[in-house]
């Protein structure tokens, strides 16, 4: 499919969408637009890459903490509800 065809298809879908769908589509558009400006792996420093690799290794070794344990701890300590 060409870019022109994609654009036409997107405009057709947008024209027939209700308000809720348009808001959802806009949220997706904003998220994708922001990701374009986010740093990629190649933009990270060697230290940042090393720390990410170390964290992934620790997770594989079972040294991570589950999201449930973290949220339970935050709720207990600070009253924060996730």
pTM for the predicted model, two decimal places: 0.42
Q: Provide the terminal-to-terminal Cα distance of the chain, rounded to the nearest Å.
A: 42
**What's the rounded mean pLDDT across residues 11-33?**
88
What is d(CA 26, CA 2) in angstroms, rounded to the nearest whole number? 22
Helices 3-16 and 19-36 cross at an angle (nearest 10°) of: 140
Average pLDDT, rounded, for the chain: 87
Question: CA-CA distance, 39 to 1, in Å (whole number)?
Answer: 29
pLDDT at 20 over 70: yes
Q: CA angle, 31 as apex, 25 and 32 as ends, to 5°?
A: 90
Exposure of 25 by Cβ count < 10 A (0-12 exposed, 13-18 middle, 19+ buried)? middle
């Amino acid at each position: 499919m060409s870019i022109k065809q994609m654009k036409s298809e997107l405009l057709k879908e947008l024209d027939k969408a209700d308000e809720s769908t348009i808001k959802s589509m806009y949220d997706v558009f904003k998220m994708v637009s922001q990701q374009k400006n986010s740093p990629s792996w190649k933009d990270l420093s060697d230290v940042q890459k090393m720390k990410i690799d170390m964290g992934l290794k620790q997770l594989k070794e079972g040294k991570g903490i589950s999201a449930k344990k973290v949220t339970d701890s935050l709720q207990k300590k600070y009253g924060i509800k996730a």
